[in-house]
C-alpha cells in the first residue's frame, strides 16, 4: 500500500468537515432510542451517526445487539435527519445486510482487526466498494496487524479508507479502559499520512469524564476526527453505559475543543511539539512503571534477607551495580554524575522499602 493522496480525498468528496464527528449510541436498542438520539444530533457538528447492530461481547450473556431490525431504524433515522449511517461489520453476512440497507460507512471492530481471515472475508465481500470503511486498531498493540488490515481492504480496491484509534488491551489495570499507546497511532500516521485518523475516546477511556481530554490530545496530534458514543440516557444504556455522553454534553465537548489547522506554521509547530511531548509522557509513564516494579523486587529481596537474617545494605553488590550503570550509561550518552545521582536515589528508595519489610512484625 503506497502513500496516496487519493485516500484522503473522501473527506472532501463526501463533503465532510474537519474535524469529522461521528456520534451515536454504542448499540441501537429500540427504534425510539435511535430516532431520539439522531434527532438530537441533527443540526450539530455531527455528520455521521454510529450505532452497533451486532455487538462483539467479551463473554456470552451480555447484550449482543438487536441485529437486522436495527438497520431499518437506521434507514429511518437517515431519511429523517440526513445524517450518514455507520455500523460495525464482522462477517460477510453483516456486509451484505449493511449494503442492502444503504449504510454509508462500515467499520471493522478491534476484535475483528486481529483476525486476518475475518478481515479478508470482509474485504472480499466489499470488493470495489465506494463506501467509506474504517479500521479500528487491533485490541493488542501490534502496528503491523493494523496496517495489514488496511492493506487487505486496499488490495480489494477499497479506496475510501480511514482508521480509528481505540486504544489497546493491557492485563494490568490502568486509568484507561484501553491504553492509548499514542506512539502506535503516531507511527501509523507517519507511515500513512494520507489515511484519515480518527480518535475513539469512548473506548480508550471507558469513562465519560475523560472524553474531552483524550479528544483534545488527539486534535493536538492532528487527528482528522472523533467517534464518540452518545446516548439519550447513558446510565441506562444496554452496553458501555459508563462511557457514553448525552447529546447535550457532546455538543459542549465539541464547543470546548481547540481545533488546529494543519497548514498554519504556528500549528505545525504545536503539532510537532505535541507529538514529541506525547513521546516524553509515554516514556515517563514507563519509567515510573519500571521503577515501581523494581521496588517490588527490592521488597521481595528484603523479605528474603529478613528470613535469612542478612543485613539490608550490601555494599559490594551496590558498588558493582553502580559501576555497571556508569559504564552502560556512558554508552547511551548519559553523564557519570547523572547516573550516580539517579541510581543513588533509586538505591535509597529500595533501602527504605526493604527497611519497611524488616520492621514489619
Ligand atoms: C464499538 O465501537 O462499539 C466497539 C465495539 O468498539 P471496539 O471494536 O473498539 O471495541
Ligand atoms: Mn461501545
Looking at ligand 1, which atom is closest to the CA of residue 55? 5
Is the distance from the beta carbon of residue 166 to the nearest atom of ligand 1 less than 6 Å? yes
Is the distance from the beta carbon of residue 26 to the nearest atom of ligand 1 less than 6 Å? yes
Each residue's pLDDT tens digit, 156-203? 999 999 999 999 999 888 999 999 999 999 999 999 999 999 999 999
Q: What is the pTM of this model?
A: 0.80
Q: Whose CA is nearest to atom 1 of ligand 1?
A: 26
Looking at ligand 1, which atom is closest to the CA of residue 200? 9
Residue showing cell 472523533: 226
Looking at the CA of 200, which ligand is closest?
1
Looking at ligand 1, which atom is closest to the CA of residue 202? 2
Instruction: Determine the 3-state secondary structure of 202 from DSSP.
Output: helix
Are 29 and 236 in contact by the 8 Å Cβ rule? The answer is no
Looking at ligand 1, which atom is closest to the CA of residue 110? 8
Cis bond leading into 19, ω under 30°?
yes
For the domain spanning 5-256, the CATH number is: 3.20.20.70
Is the distance from the beta carbon of residue 231 to the nearest atom of ligand 1 less than 6 Å? no
Residues 6+ away with beta carbon under 8 Å from 113: 119, 135, 136, 137, 138, 139, 145, 146, 149
Is the distance from the beta carbon of residue 25 to the nearest atom of ligand 1 less than 6 Å? no
Q: Whose CA is nearest to atom 4 of ligand 1?
A: 109
All CATH 1.20.59.10 domain ranges in the chain, comma separated? 267-359
* Sign of torsion over alpha carbons 305, 309, 313, 317: negative
Angstrom distance (rounded) from CA 239 to CA 237: 5
For the domain spanning 267-359, the CATH number is: 1.20.59.10
All CATH 3.20.20.70 domain ranges in the chain, comma separated? 5-256
Ion ligand 2: residues, CB < 5 A: 26, 240
Each residue's pLDDT tens digit, 111-159? 999 999 999 999 999 999 999 999 999 999 999 999 999 999 999 999 9
Strands 225-229 and 197-199: parallel
Neighbours of 121 (CB within 10 A): 20
Each residue's pLDDT tens digit, 216-275? 999 999 999 999 999 999 999 999 999 999 999 999 999 999 997 665 667 778 788 888
Amino acid at each position: 500500500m503506497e502513500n496516496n493522496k487519493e485516500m484522503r480525498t473522501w473527506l472532501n468528496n463526501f463533503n465532510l468537515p474537519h474535524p469529522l464527528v461521528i456520534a451515536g449510541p454504542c448499540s441501537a436498542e429500540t427504534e425510539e432510542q435511535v430516532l431520539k438520539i439522531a434527532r438530537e444530533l441533527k443540526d450539530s457538528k455531527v455528520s455521521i451517526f454510529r450505532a452497533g447492530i451486532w455487538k462483539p461481547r467479551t463473554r456470552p450473556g451480555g447484550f449482543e445487539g438487536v441485529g437486522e431490525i436495527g438497520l431499518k431504524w437506521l434507514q429511518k433515522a437517515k431519511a429523517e435527519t440526513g445524517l450518514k449511517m455507520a455500523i460495525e461489520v464482522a462477517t460477510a453476512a453483516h456486509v451484505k445486510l449493511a449494503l442492502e440497507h444503504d449504510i454509508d460507512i462500515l467499520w471493522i471492530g478491534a476484535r475483528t482487526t486481529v483476525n486476518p481471515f475475518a478481515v479478508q472475508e470482509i474485504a472480499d465481500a466489499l470488493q470495489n466498494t465506494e463506501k467509506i470503511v474504517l479500521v479500528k486498531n487491533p485490541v493488542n498493540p501490534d502496528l503491523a496487524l493494523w496496517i495489514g488490515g488496511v492493506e487487505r481492504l486496499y488490495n480489494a480496491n477499497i479506496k475510501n479508507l480511514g482508521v480509528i484509534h481505540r486504544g489497546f488491551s493491557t492485563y494490568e489495570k490502568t486509568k484507561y479502559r484501553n491504553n492509548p499507546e499514542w506512539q502506535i497511532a503516531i507511527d501509523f500516521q507517519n507511515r500513512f499520512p494520507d489515511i484519515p485518523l480518527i480518535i475513539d475516546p469512548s473506548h480508550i477511556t471507558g469513562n465519560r469524564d475523560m472524553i474531552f481530554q483524550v479528544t483534545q490530545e488527539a486534535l493536538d496530534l492532528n487527528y482528522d476526527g472523533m467517534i464518540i458514543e452518545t446516548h439519550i440516557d447513558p446510565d441506562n444504556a444496554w452496553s458501555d453505559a459508563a462511557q457514553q455522553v448525552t447529546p447535550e454534553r457532546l455538543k459542549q465537548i465539541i464547543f470546548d475543543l481547540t481545533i488546529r489547522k494543519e497548514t498554519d506554521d504556528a500549528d505545525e509547530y504545536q503539532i510537532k511539539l505535541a507529538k514529541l511531548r506525547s513521546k516524553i509522557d509515554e516514556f515517563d509513564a514507563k519509567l515510573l512503571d519500571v521503577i515501581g516494579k523494581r521496588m517490588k523486587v527490592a521488597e521481595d529481596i528484603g523479605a528474603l534477607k529478613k528470613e535469612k537474617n542478612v543485613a539490608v545494605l550490601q555494599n559490594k553488590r551496590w558498588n558493582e551495580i553502580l559501576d555497571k550503570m556508569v559504564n552502560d550509561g556512558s554508552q547511551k550518552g548519559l553523564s557519570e554524575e547523572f547516573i550516580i545521582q539517579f541510581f543513588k536515589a533509586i538505591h535509597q528508595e529500595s533501602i527504605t522499602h526493604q527497611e519497611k519489610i524488616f520492621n514489619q512484625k
